Amino acid sequence: MFHAHIGKLIRIWRDEKGMQTAPTRGSLSPVAFGALMSQLFMLGAETKGDARFRVAGALANDLHGENLTGRSFISLFRPYDRPRILAAMQEARARCAPLVIKASGVAASGESIGLEIGLVPILGDAGVVERLMGLYQPVSATARLSGETLSELHLREIVIVEDVARAPRPMLRLVVDNTRQVA
């Protein structure tokens, strides 16, 4: 369904949130992601209808050819896709649910790569969703870009990940039937 690294983001988020609606800013450490730290970023919600990069890892900065800190996350996508992404981000914040954006990153030459961008809500000191932590995950070879940077992201799919309660594993039963003969 999703790349394993997106799954790891969601698992760590779920583990850290415990019985809360989402983890707090201080409880979710980027160090828990180990080698994936360069793929992480943090979005703030300083103004309604916008989410700006507070910090961005090296991978996102390299793919876009600039330091994304301070830039609008929504502005990375083509104008046609922005309302859907913004609505999904607002819904993920309201429901305190992880969000996965599947997109194509397109360079000026037209060459493209597949991306999955995972976003998880983070609670601020007031107990409301204040930030979104994200992970940039290429799902195709970035070498295809031949050193070019992405000029625009094209939305392919948006998935809000339901936080279903883990059902208990069924107990196994061993049934022995001594009345049957096996040839």
Is pLDDT of 169 > 60? no
Q: What was the pLDDT predicted at 6?
A: 96
Burial class from Cβ neighbours inside 10 Å (0-12, 13-18, 19+) for residue 109 reads exposed
Percent of the chain exceeding pLDDT 70 equals 86
Domains in the chain (CATH in brackets) are: 4-160 (3.30.450.20)
- Report residue 57 as tokens: 């890892």
Is pLDDT of 181 > 90? no
Q: What was the pLDDT predicted at 97?
A: 95
Is pLDDT of 174 > 60? no
Sheet containing 52-56: give its strands across. Answer: 52-56, 40-44, 129-138, 112-123, 99-107, 150-160
Nearest of 117, 135, 121, 137 to residue 77 by alpha carbon: 117
Q: What is the model's pTM?
A: 0.85
Cα 92 from Cα 72, distance rounded (Å): 18
Q: In Å, how far from its chain's centre is CA 117? A: 4
Confidence band of 20 (pLDDT split at 50, 70, 90)? confident
Confidence band of 167 (pLDDT split at 50, 70, 90)? very low
- Please tell me which residue, 31 or 167, carries the higher pLDDT value: 31
Q: What was the pLDDT predicted at 127?
A: 82
> Is 166 strand, coil or helix?
coil
CB contact at 8 A, 8 and 33 = yes
Confidence band of 165 (pLDDT split at 50, 70, 90)? very low
Query: What digits encode the pLDDT tens for the residues 112-146?
Result: 999 999 999 999 888 888 899 999 999 999 898 89
Query: What digits encode the pLDDT tens for the residues 47-70?
Result: 667 899 999 999 999 999 999 999
Burial class from Cβ neighbours inside 10 Å (0-12, 13-18, 19+) for residue 14 reads middle
Is pLDDT of 161 > 80? yes
Mean pLDDT of 23-47: 86
CB contact at 8 A, 107 and 89 = no
